[in-house]
Amino acid sequence: MSEPLLDYKQAAKQLGLKESTLKDWVYHKKFPYVKVGRRTCFKPEDITNFINANRVEAVEAQEKTS
């Protein structure tokens, strides 16, 4: 059985965003969502995939030589 769908508040909290930012992303189709009747919901795996896809790896600092 898959995880339950999340609402705007739950998804925004997991992403560390304001709900208004997430709503803007949905409006501009920048973030995947699911329509259930009139409700907009989010799959937990889409949130995880989005976070992983936007991850920036750290780079080791190099010593400066003068």
Which residue, among 50, 51, 29, has the nearest Cα to 40 in the 3D structure?
Answer: 29
Looking at residue 51, its pLDDT comes to 94
- Sign (positive or negative) of CA dihedral 7, 13, 14, 17: positive
H-type alpha helices, 1-66: 8-15, 19-27, 44-53
| Average pLDDT of the chain to the nearest whole number | 92
**pTM score of the predicted model:** 0.80
Residue 66: pLDDT over 70: no
Average pLDDT over residues 41-59: 94
% pLDDT > 90, the chain:
82
pLDDT bracket for residue 42 (50, 70, 90): very high
